A = this chain, B = another copy of it.
Amino acid sequence: MATPHTHTHDHGSWNTHAADALARKGTRRSSARDAVVTAIAAQDCCASAQEIHARLRTDGSTVGIASVYRTLELLHGMGLVTRIDTGDGVARFEPTHPGGEHHHHLVCTSCGAVEAFHDDALEEAIHRIADRVDFRVDAHDVALRGACRACR
């Protein structure tokens, strides 16, 4: 049930999924956007805009931070990327997988580490709530905060 780390995803599959969706939407291809999409595809878990930007610059790209934010906003609006708030005031993003399978996060309040977990009973409980409430629920996210093994 509760399996810490459940994401052996094929990076390439999200990458082409995203590329297809962008093509279908009619956006133009550009090196900046391609670089950001590729960087996101390579993530196992969430990363901030600044982190993505830094990694790209380190790898020799000349993308501007504004393009990272703009691409993230575009992808988020298309549902291709999930936004996560770990509580430190910085938005983090990770690829949204087409199958609907997703994970939630364990956040260490001492060192800031983020781990992923998945739990079926949790998803079930959330679906029940969504059905019952006078609100159209499109998405949900869960954060468990505490201390990771190293900080405990």
Contact = CB atoms under 8 A, between A and B. Distances in A.
Contacts of A140: 142-145
A137 interface: yes
Contacts of A125: 119, 121-122, 124-125
Interface residues of A, number: 41
B136 A147 contact: yes
A16 B129 CA distance: 33
A103 to B, nearest CB: 12
Interface of A: 1-2, 4, 83, 85, 87, 89, 91, 106, 108-109, 115, 117, 119, 121-122, 124-126, 128-130, 132-149, 152
Counting chain B CB atoms within 10 Å of each CB, the highest count among A109, A122, A148 belongs to A122
Contact of A141 (B89, B134, B143, B148): B143
Contacts of A91: 89
Given A119-B129, A137-B144, 16 more contacts: A2-B132, A4-B133, A4-B135, A89-B89, A121-B128, A125-B125, A133-B144, A135-B147, A136-B146, A140-B143, A140-B144, A140-B145, A141-B142, A141-B143, A141-B145, A142-B142
A122 B115 contact: no
